[in-house]
Amino acid sequence: NGNPQNPYCHGIDGVMEAYYRSLKSVQLYGPTNFAPVINHVARYASSVKDGSQYFVLLIITDGVISDMAQTKESIVNVS
């Protein structure tokens, strides 16, 4: 939702609203490092143990990922 202190959205409508808002404000440039973002979101998700919440990480890229090996490792580790 753009708020790093409270990054939660309410329902799918909240997710879609955050997505559309981000499309207007995101500027693609490099280097593109996804591993830190994936790990950050995974830390939030790991705090919910009872299945009462779900987490969506949407990655928008211009096609060039600077930390591909670390990104793959992060995806495997957090899945």
Question: How far is Cα 34 from Cα 72, in angstroms, rounded to an integer?
Answer: 9
User: Both 24 and 35 in a single domain?
Assistant: no
User: Both 37 and 50 in a single domain?
Assistant: yes
User: Both 23 and 38 in a single domain?
Assistant: no
Over 80: is that where the pLDDT of 60 sits? no
Tokens of 26: 């995101």
Give the residue-averaged pLDDT of 7-17: 88
Residue 12, domain extent = 1-28
pLDDT score at 33: 92
Q: How many domains does the chain have?
A: 2
- Banded pLDDT at 1 (limits 50, 70, 90): confident
DSSP state of 11: H
Over 90: is that where the pLDDT of 52 sits? no
